[in-house]
Amino acid sequence: MSRELVRKLLVASLLTLIAAVCVASFFYISQPKVVVNDMELWTPGESKHPIYINHPKGIAVVDSGKRHQDGSIITVRCNTCHTNKEPNLKTKSGDELVDFHQKMPFQHGSLSCVSCHNPDNYETLHLADKTELEFKDVMQLCAQCHGKQFSDYNNGMHGGMTGYWDLQRGPRKRNTCTDCHSPHVPAYPTVMPVFPPKVRQGSKLPDRSH
């Protein structure tokens, strides 16, 4: 083999190697961090304490406007009405709703209702690839379209937290997206303060009446 050929082969294999490393590290880095709900752990390495991620309990329901004797709300399940109702895939605003959910406030990009709600079963949501999603896993839905905020969230720069930075000392608690943003009108109210300090038992709220 000529020297020139050897040199060319060496350069070629070096370039291939560099390309392979780039591709591999891209996939490695772009691997999303898995955020698991509730009691399950999301712990980098071995930590003594978990990170608890808040999530909505149960399924979404409709307030019937009626109350039980003890004052609690009488709710109606979605499928009470929707199992036998053909879903309307086009609805995009509260104004289009005349028979029920009238004038529901809705202002979220140009999404339609079924961008999130699963038209085959309104007691669940769905991802873009049509995977059915429980209401409690709503963060996965938001994350799908708001990747930047979700990765900021994973890096602790969005969404707040309480508890311990050092998971050897104690657990950490995190909010879910819908603790702060309504899914229907997600613009964060600018006047809304970050969470107010907890009022301890016996202490009074500051008097703001004047």
Name which of 167 and 175 has its Cβ closer to ligand HEC.
Answer: 175
Name which of 90 and 204 has its Cβ closer to ligand HEC.
Answer: 90
Q: What is the DSSP letter of 117?
A: B
Q: Measured between alpha carbons, how far is 176 from 55 in angstroms, rounded to an integer?
A: 6
What track of x and - describes contact with ligand HEC for positions 1 through 40 (by CB under 6 A)?
Answer: ----------------------------------------
Decide: is 80 part of the binding site for ligand HEC (CB under 6 A): yes
Residues in 131-190 at the binding interface with ligand HEC, rule: CB under 6 A: 135, 138-139, 141-146, 149-150, 153, 158-160, 175, 177-184, 186-188
Which of residues 16, 25, 83, 88 is near ligand HEC by CB under 6 A? 88
Going from the C-alpha of 91 to that of each of 85, 86, 128, the distances in angstroms are 14, 12, 17
What track of x and - describes contact with ligand HEC for positions 93 through 132 (by CB under 6 A)?
Answer: xx--xxxxx--x-x-xx-x-x-xxx----x----------
Hey, which residues does 76 pair with through a beta bridge? 62
Residues in 58-77 at the binding interface with ligand HEC, rule: CB under 6 A: 60-62, 76
74-107 as b/e, with b when 16 or more CB fall inside 10 Å?
A: eeeebeeebeeeeeeeebbebeeeeeeeeeeebe
First and final C-alpha spacing in the chain: 92
Angle at 49 between CA 35 and CA 51, to 5 degrees: 25
Angle at 58 between CA 54 and CA 62, to 5 degrees: 120
Binding site for ligand HEC (CB under 6 A): 56, 60-62, 76, 78, 80-82, 87-88, 91, 93-94, 97-101, 104, 106, 108-109, 111, 113, 115-117, 122, 135, 138-139, 141-146, 149-150, 153, 158-160, 175, 177-184, 186-188
